[in-house]
């Protein structure tokens, strides 16, 4: 892609090479979300070898997730500067190198820096560019594409957790980390697939009030490039922080922060919770696979459901419903101790977790629009990183102090349910639109493509008081029944005959 960053053509192709891009997004999403959870299989061996508590060991997954989310703005800037493909290739190498180096660690601090920081950064440099590229290829089928790509998380989680258990039994945690590092090199192959969609042709210049130099390029490249005050040079906006003033973005950001405090806690603690309840190690690891199997079905199904014409304008309420269902599942299963009860919890958790995963980025795309999505995604992931650094480590410390998992499930469920309630109430009270004038994608809380097009058309009209060729003068008069001023052409005296 070179240094020009991602560009969109006249319209997303909604197919073609986009299906190959979707397949790569499927793999990247699987590694990004499944890998930090699958690493928890090695925690007991790490606790034994390093003589550490569970909270200290859980920092490996927490740092990995924090890097995945916290480096969002950095990833946005790099994608804008260098493009998706180079960033993803470098990210794949970093993710692999982190796990390989972690296999030689002799202290927990070294694990934090290698498996946590380095691998987490590599996954981040793959995850966000893949979502950006997916948005460039799909518009009409975008909810379904997001659901199919999000299904990579449960597929890889259901495979990586038993694989990690087998690697631990046959090669120990060091050999397991080394082999997983080689597996992460597949991210480089996925990055090579990310070919940008065809760009639009050259914009024709107007003869009278023609575009200033660089203006056509600014129109093609979107909000990343804007005209300098001199009118002769352009500069690239690497990170659009003005999206923070968007009410829809603010509501979504608060929701994601509350959600991240508790959403990942049950999945991270599930295997060790089952082992402490007397479940054999192999069956305890299989619980995450159950979550993954249900999640595999839930994500594409929910994505297809959200793409229906009647439901797509209300996708924010569907997202809040999924959050509330996930929180209530945690609350109702806090005292589950038998294997059958844990299986029932995994089924319900996988269903609601899949709905959340399928809808979360579709809601953001619909709220801020495709041009501002890269910057909005980076800022949201940064905020989510703070919550990830608070949630799982705090849960681990409570487990060490109380020796009881029940309160952990109560806290996690309350936080996720509160996020769903806030999303529904804030959307209804602050973002609800009148019945006449349904929203178009990308216009919620901010200017959309239609408004930008109208502004461009308005800029082509001559200002009031200027004369057109032939003695025509443009003035502004109110349009009947509307209110906004529109131009009207009148003739000067003596020129109408």
Closest listed residue to residue 345, CA positions, set 335, 355, 358, 356 = 335
Confidence class for position 335, pLDDT limits 50, 70, 90: confident
Ranges of each domain in the chain = 16-196, 240-433
Q: What is the pLDDT of residue 136?
A: 83
Instruction: Give yes or no for residue 306 having a pLDDT over 50.
Output: yes
Entry pTM: 0.66
Instruction: Give yes or no for residue 205 having a pLDDT over 60.
Output: no
Which region among 25-39, 108-122, 243-257, 464-478 has the lowest average model confidence (pLDDT)? 464-478
Separation CA 297–CA 415 (nearest Å): 25
Q: What is the pLDDT of residue 391?
A: 78
> Helix, strand, or coil here: 310?
coil
Instruction: Give yes or no for residue 223 having a pLDDT over 60.
Output: no
Q: What is the pLDDT of residue 95?
A: 93
Q: What is the pLDDT of residue 208?
A: 39
Does an H or E element contain 270, and which? helix 265-276
> Helix, strand, or coil here: 313?
helix
If one compares 261 and 69, the residue with the highest pLDDT of the two is 261
Q: What is the pLDDT of residue 12?
A: 66
Confidence class for position 444, pLDDT limits 50, 70, 90: very low
CATH homologous superfamily of domain 240-433? Answer: MFS general substrate transporter like domains (1.20.1250.20)
Q: Which two tokens stand for residue 266?
A: 């049950």
DSSP 312: G
Confidence class for position 310, pLDDT limits 50, 70, 90: confident
Q: What is the pLDDT of residue 311?
A: 84
Instruction: Give yes or no for residue 172 having a pLDDT over 50.
Output: yes
Q: Going by C-beta distance under 8 Å and a sequence separation of 6 or more, which residues neighbour residue 287?
A: 270, 271, 274, 279, 342, 343, 346
Separation CA 59–CA 69 (nearest Å): 15
Confidence class for position 433, pLDDT limits 50, 70, 90: low
- Averaged pLDDT for residues 195-204: 60
Highest mean pLDDT among 125-129, 374-378, 482-486: 125-129
Confidence class for position 131, pLDDT limits 50, 70, 90: confident
pLDDT tens for residues 48-101?
Answer: 888 887 778 878 887 888 888 888 888 888 888 888 899 999 999 999 999 999
Separation CA 92–CA 193 (nearest Å): 13
Instruction: Give yes or no for residue 348 having a pLDDT over 80.
Output: yes
Instruction: Give yes or no for residue 201 having a pLDDT over 80.
Output: no
Instruction: Give yes or no for residue 474 having a pLDDT over 70.
Output: no
Q: What percent of the chain has pLDDT over 90?
A: 19
**Does this chain's domain 16-196 share its CATH topology with 240-433?**
yes
Assess contact for 385 and 69: CB atoms under 8 A.
yes
What average pLDDT is seen over the chain?
A: 76
Instruction: Give yes or no for residue 154 having a pLDDT over 50.
Output: yes
Q: What is the pLDDT of residue 236?
A: 59
Separation CA 195–CA 123 (nearest Å): 19
Which region among 103-112, 133-142, 331-340, 437-446 has the lowest average model confidence (pLDDT)? 437-446
Q: What is the pLDDT of residue 327?
A: 92
- Averaged pLDDT for residues 362-370: 84
Highest mean pLDDT among 2-6, 144-148, 288-292: 144-148
Closest listed residue to residue 311, CA positions, set 255, 368, 358 = 358
Q: Going by C-beta distance under 8 Å and a sequence separation of 6 or more, which residues neighbour residue 309?
A: none
Topology of domain 16-196, per CATH? Growth Hormone; Chain: A; (1.20.1250)
- Averaged pLDDT for residues 6-20: 68
Q: What percent of the chain has pLDDT over 70?
A: 77
Confidence class for position 199, pLDDT limits 50, 70, 90: low
Separation CA 230–CA 214 (nearest Å): 11
Q: What is the pLDDT of residue 92?
A: 93
Assess contact for 9 and 199: CB atoms under 8 A.
yes
Confidence class for position 179, pLDDT limits 50, 70, 90: very high
């Amino acid at each position: 892609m070179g240094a020009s960053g991602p560009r969109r053509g006249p319209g997303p192709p909604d197919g073609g090479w986009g299906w190959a891009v979707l397949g790569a997004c499927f793999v990247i999403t699987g590694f990004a979300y499944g890998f930090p959870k699958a690493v928890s299989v090695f925690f007991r061996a790490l606790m034994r070898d390093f003589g550490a508590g569970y909270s200290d060991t859980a920092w490996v997954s927490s740092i990995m997730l924090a890097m995945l989310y916290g480096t969002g703005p950095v990833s946005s800037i790099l994608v804008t500067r260098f493009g998706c493909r180079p960033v993803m290739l470098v990210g794949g190498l970093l993710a692999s190198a982190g796990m390989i180096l972690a296999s030689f660690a002799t202290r927990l601090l070294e694990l934090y820096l290698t498996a946590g920081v380095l691998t987490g950064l590599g996954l981040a440099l793959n995850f966000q560019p893949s979502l950006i590229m997916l948005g460039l290829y799909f518009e009409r089928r975008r909810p379904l594409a997001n659901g199919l790509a999000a299904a990579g998380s449960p597929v890889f989680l259901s495979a990586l957790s038993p694989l990690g258990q087998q690697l631990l039994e046959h090669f120990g945690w060091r050999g397991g980390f080394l082999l997983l590092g080689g597996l992460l090199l597949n991210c480089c192959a996925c990055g090579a697939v990310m070919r940008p969609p065809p760009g639009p042709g050259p914009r024709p210049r107007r003869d009278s009030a023609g575009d200033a130099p660089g203006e056509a390029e600014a129109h093609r490249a979107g909000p990343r490039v804007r005209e300098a005050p001199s009118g002769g040079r352009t500069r690239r906006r690497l990170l659009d922080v003005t999206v923070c003033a968007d009410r829809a973005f603010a509501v979504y950001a608060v929701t994601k922060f509350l959600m991240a405090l508790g959403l990942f806690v049950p999945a991270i603690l599930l295997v060790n919770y089952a082992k402490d309840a007397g479940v054999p190690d192999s069956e305890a690891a299989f619980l995450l696979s159950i979550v993954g199997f249900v999640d595999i079905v839930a994500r594409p199904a929910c994505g297809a459901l959200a793409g229906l014409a009647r439901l797509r304008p209300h996708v924010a309420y569907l997202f809040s419903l999924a959050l509330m269902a996930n929180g209530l599942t945690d609350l109702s299963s806090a005292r589950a101790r038998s294997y059958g009860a844990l299986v029932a919890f995994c089924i319900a958790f996988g269903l609601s977790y899949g709905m959340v995963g399928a809808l979360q980025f579709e809601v953001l795309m619909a709220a801020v629009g495709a041009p501002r999505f890269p910057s909005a995604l980076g800022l949201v992931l940064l905020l989510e990183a703070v919550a990830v650094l608070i949630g799982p480590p705090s849960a681990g410390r409570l487990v060490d102090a109380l020796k009881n998992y029940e309160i952990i499930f109560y806290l996690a469920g309350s936080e996720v349910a509160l996020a769903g309630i806030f999303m529904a109430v804030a959307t209804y009270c602050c973002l609800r639109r009148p019945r006449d004038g349904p929203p178009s994608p990308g216009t919620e809380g901010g200017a959309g493509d239609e408004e930008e097009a109208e502004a461009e058309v308005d800029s082509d009209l001559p200002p009031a008081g200027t004369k057109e060729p032939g003695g025509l003068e443009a003035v502004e008069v109110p349009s009947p029944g509307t209110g906004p001023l529109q131009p009207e052409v009148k003739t000067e005296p003596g020129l109408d005959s």
